[in-house]
A and B are shown apart, each in its own frame.
Chain A
Amino acid sequence: MTDLLLPLPILIAFATAILTFFFRKGPEGRWVSVAGSALMLVAGGMLLAEVLANGVQAAQMGNWPAPFGITLVADTLSAIMVVITAITALAVSVYAISDVTREMEAVGYHTLFHTLIAGVMGAFLTGDLFNLYVWFEVMLISSFGLLVMGGKRVQMDAGIKYVTLNLISTVLFLSGIGLLYGVTGTLNMADLHTAVQTADAGLITVIAMMFLVGFGVKAAVFPLFFWLPAAYHTPAFAVSAVFAGLLTKVGVYALLRMFTLVFTRDVGFTHGLLLWVAVATMVTGVLGAAAQTDFRRILSFHIVSQIGYMVLGLALYTPLALTGAVFYLVHHIIVKANLFLVSGVANRIAGGTNIDRIGGLYKGAPLLAFLFLIPAFSLAGFPPLSGFWAKFVLVKASLDLELWFVAFAALAVGLMTIYSMTKIWGRAFWAPHPGGTVPSLSSLPLSERVTLLVPIAFLASLTIVIGLFPEPFVQVAARAAAELLDPTAYLAAVLGGPS
């Protein structure tokens, strides 16, 4: 059963990609895309239920026993990430029905979208380091195509920066894999956990640094984040929403996985460094956002700032802190993808994303204003929304370790986030439109209104549900954190032996 369940999300994504390629000339492709995403959500839900009921699941591909073959593993963290990826994919593929142009569909938007999702799913599920590299590449090449799709001049500029910086990170990751294989003779992550214990600690730390920089570029941490605010405001809105929700989080996931399972020989040094990286990421991201006036660029800098919180959870390396990091990941993906979707509707009805040149959205489209307020306040950490609990857990974890400065930075960055969100609110929603028009949702045809607003409302309601009933979500996150800190179950599931 699990032999089928584990590769299923990846297989569905690839099958949808192939099907949509055949339907790229007609309108059927978008419905195939939505159906594929819905199936993925079902498969992801079944996987999560299985993992919650029976513990860590592993499947050996091609029946080659670990550590010789490629293993797919789902612990609680992987299963959560698969479900949240499917939720994002579903919301964005519904939104794309109205947002993506016929020209983009004809050159294969849906196909690239689903290969991107396949890459993300694969990265979350693999238990083999080189296989992780391959999934990263699947994801990367799809994202390249999506980023420049549409061919606007500004996209070419953004594309060059995004592509070049991500390729450097790829080379570092690949070299790290080569060196790690040279030292330990294995690439299976569970097997690596055992193998690095007897290897030269100094050498392992050097390799850990290569992985830190490689994944750090993907996750957009300080000082490696410059490609992100240069690129995320240029592609189609559906594309930027899925990028904002998922891509950097794959980098964070890889950091979480490698720095709890493999690189734990010198926690004082590696995680101490991560702590400073986290604080610097939070602060520079939020300060960068304060200087921007484009809706999506403000949001892009906030991605950077929020990545800092997740890395902070990893750096503190206590059960509570890791719980916070996992909870933050889930909260952030929902909220951030949603804010980018809102910016797309604002662009549609108000005629732009520069908040100095649009306005009147509250007067003309109060429903959109309400749907913006939920993720925006959640991002800033207002109770009782999901962001409040995420920040609360992380601040409490840093106070428990008596890291007053870190807790202060986390709270101050939250305050600065409110500043940015009120700036968007004040200028784009509250102030009158400088052109004198009143943007209204009724300027859109009914079918577009439905497909654009339903995903936004769906993600916003998830934010509220997590905020009002955080207990079960925190418990699942705590379970994921416990599995990260004590990989016994993970090792037993992959390598066999007593469980």
Chain B
Amino acid sequence: MEFLIALMVGALVAAAVYLMLARNVLRFLFGLLLISNAANLLIFASGGLTPESPPLIPEGAKLPPEGVANALPQALVLTAIVIGFGLFAFALVLIYRGYQTMGTLDSDEMRLAEPEDGH
């Protein structure tokens, strides 16, 4: 199971890096979305995968039985997903505004803030 998840993280990162190398910033953004999901998956897997053992404490007991799923990485992933979603939404709007003002999505042509003559 861990092996499959690891492969999937690798595939996501590879696809993301390919997209992020494009000059088109919208493609870059999609790459960023993929790689942040790869990171979330990585955290999820690094907590250890324990199928069919939810972290529940039986009635009357103080501790959960041995070998239950680790709830902490899931809490971390949940936080990271929410933050990632907010950042992605902002970046998407920013790129749209950038396209409206500059009329291009090609990162090589975005020279407003850094003109080529250095002035």
Residues of A near any B CB (own CB < 8 A)? 130, 133-134, 137, 140-141, 144, 148, 151, 153-161, 163-164, 167-168, 170-171, 174-175, 177-179, 181-182, 229-231, 233-234, 291-294, 354, 356
Q: Decide if B113 touches A171 in the complex (CB within 8 Å).
A: no
Known: A153-B112, A157-B113, A230-B114. A354 touches B95 (CB 8 A): no
In the complex, residue of chain A having the shortest beta-carbon distance to the beta carbon of B35: A171
**Interface: B62 (CB within 8 A):** no
In the complex, besides A130-B79, A156-B101, A157-B111, 5 extra interface pairs with C-beta distance below 8 angstroms are A160-B107, A164-B91, A168-B35, A175-B43, A229-B114
**21 residue pairs bridging A and B, Cβ less than 8 Å apart:** A141-B87, A144-B87, A144-B90, A156-B102, A157-B98, A157-B102, A157-B112, A159-B94, A160-B107, A163-B94, A164-B25, A164-B29, A167-B36, A168-B35, A174-B40, A178-B76, A181-B43, A181-B47, A182-B47, A229-B114, A291-B118
CB distance from B22 to the nearest CB of A (A): 12
A-side contacts of B39, CB under 8 Å: 171, 174-175, 178
Complex CA gap A456/B46 in Å reads 49
Chain A residues closer than 8 Å to B45, beta-carbon distance = 182
- In the complex, how many residues of chain B place their beta carbon closer than 8 angstroms to a beta carbon of chain A? 40
Smallest Cβ distance from A65 to chain B, in angstroms? Answer: 15
Cα A294 to Cα B73 with chains together (Å): 47
- Assess whether A163 is in contact with B90, with CB atoms less than 8 Å apart: yes
Binary contact track B93-113/A, C-beta < 8 Å → 1, others 0: 011011001100001001111
Least Cβ–Cβ distance between B103 and chain A, in angstroms: 10
Asked whether any CB of chain A lies closer than 8 Å to the CB of B69, the reply is no
Residues in B whose Cβ lies below 8 Å from that of A167: 32, 36, 87, 91
> Is the pair A160, B87 in contact by a Cβ cutoff of 8 Å?
no
Q: Which 6 A-B pairs have the closest CB atoms?
A: A182-B46, A178-B43, A157-B112, A158-B113, A156-B98, A157-B113
Q: Is the CB of A356 within 8 A of B90?
A: no
Is A160 within 8 A of B118, CB to CB? no
* Cβ contacts B9-30/A at 8 Å (1 or 0 each): 0000000000010000100110
Q: Which residues of B contact A144 (CB under 8 A)?
A: 87, 90, 94
Asked, given contacts A153-B101, A230-B114, whether A171 binds B36 with beta carbons under 8 Å apart, the answer is yes
Tell me whether B110 and A134 are in contact (CB under 8 A). no
In the complex the two chains form, what is the Cα distance from A182 to B110 in whole Å? 40
Q: Return the contact of A233 from the options B43, B97, B113 (Cβ within 8 A).
A: B113
Contact residues in B for A181 (Cβ distance below 8 Å): 43, 46-47, 72-73, 76
Chain A residues with CB below 8 A from B68, complex form: none
Main secondary structure of the interface of A (DSSP, over half): helix
**Are A141 and B90 in contact, CB atoms less than 8 angstroms apart?**
yes
Which A residues touch B80, using CB under 8 A? Answer: 133, 174
For B90, what are the chain A residues with a Cβ–Cβ distance below 8 Å?
A: 141, 144, 163
Residue in B32, B72, B107 whose beta carbon sits within 8 Å of that of A168 in the complex: B32
Please state if A161 and B110 are interface contacts (CB–CB under 8 Å). yes
Q: Please tell me if the beta carbons of A160 and B32 are within 8 angstroms of each other in the complex.
A: no
Identify the B interface with A (CB < 8 A): 20, 25, 28-29, 32, 35-36, 38-40, 42-43, 45-48, 72-73, 76, 79-80, 83, 86-87, 90-91, 94-95, 97-98, 101-102, 107, 110-114, 118-119
CB distance from B117 to the nearest CB of A (A): 10
Task: Report the separation of the CA atoms of residues A153 and B100 in the bound assembly, to the nearest whole angstrom.
Answer: 10
- Inter-chain CA distance A174–B35, complex, in Å, is 11
Minimum CB distance partner of A136 in chain B? B83
User: A155 CB to closest chain B CB, in angstroms?
Assistant: 8
CB distance from A138 to the nearest CB of B (A): 9
A167 to B35, CA, bound (A): 10
Do A178 and B101 have beta carbons less than 8 Å apart? no
The interface residues of chain B lying within 8 Å CB-to-CB of A148 are 94, 97
Contact of A292 among B42, B46, B118 (CB under 8 A): B118
A153 proximity list for chain B (CB < 8 A): 101-102, 112
A175 and B86 CA atoms in complex are apart in Å by 18
With both chains docked as a complex, state the minimum distance between the C-beta of A437 and any C-beta of chain B, in angstroms.
21
CB distance from A132 to the nearest CB of B (A): 12
Q: Is the CB of B113 within 8 A of A163?
A: no
List A contacts of B107 (CB < 8 A): 160
> Measured between C-beta atoms, what is the minimum distance from B5 to chain A in Å?
12
Indicate if the CB atoms of B113 and A230 lie closer than 8 Å: yes
Is there contact, CB below 8 Å, between B114 and A137? no
Contact A156 B87 (CB under 8 A): no
B87 CB → nearest A CB, Å: 6
Whether B83 and A137, one on each chain, are in contact in the complex, defined by CB atoms closer than 8 angstroms, is yes
A130 partner, pick from B28, B32, B76, beta carbons under 8 A: B76
Question: Quick one: closest A residue to B43, CB to CB?
Answer: A178
- Residues of B contacting A141 with CB < 8 Å? 86-87, 90
Within the assembled complex, what's the spacing in Å between the Cα atoms of A179 and B86? 24
Specify which of A174, A230, A293 is in contact with B118 (CB 8 Å cutoff): A293
- Note all chain A residues with C-beta closer than 8 A to B76: 130, 177-178, 181
A293: chain B residues within 8 A (beta carbon) = 118-119
In the bound assembly, the distance between CA atoms of A368 and B102 in angstroms comes to 36
- List B contacts of A151 (CB < 8 A): 97
Complex formed: what's the CA distance from A71 to B73 in Å?
18
A232 to B76, CA, bound (A): 32
**Distance A151 CA – B113 CA, assembled complex (angstroms):** 13
In the complex, what residue of chain B is closest to A292 when comparing beta carbons? B118
The answer to whether B98 touches A160, judged by C-beta atoms less than 8 angstroms apart, is yes
Which residues of B sit under 8 angstroms from A159, Cβ to Cβ?
A: 94, 98
Find chain A residues with CB under 8 A from B94 CB.
144, 148, 156, 159-160, 163
With both chains docked as a complex, state the minimum distance between the C-beta of A233 and any C-beta of chain B, in angstroms: 7
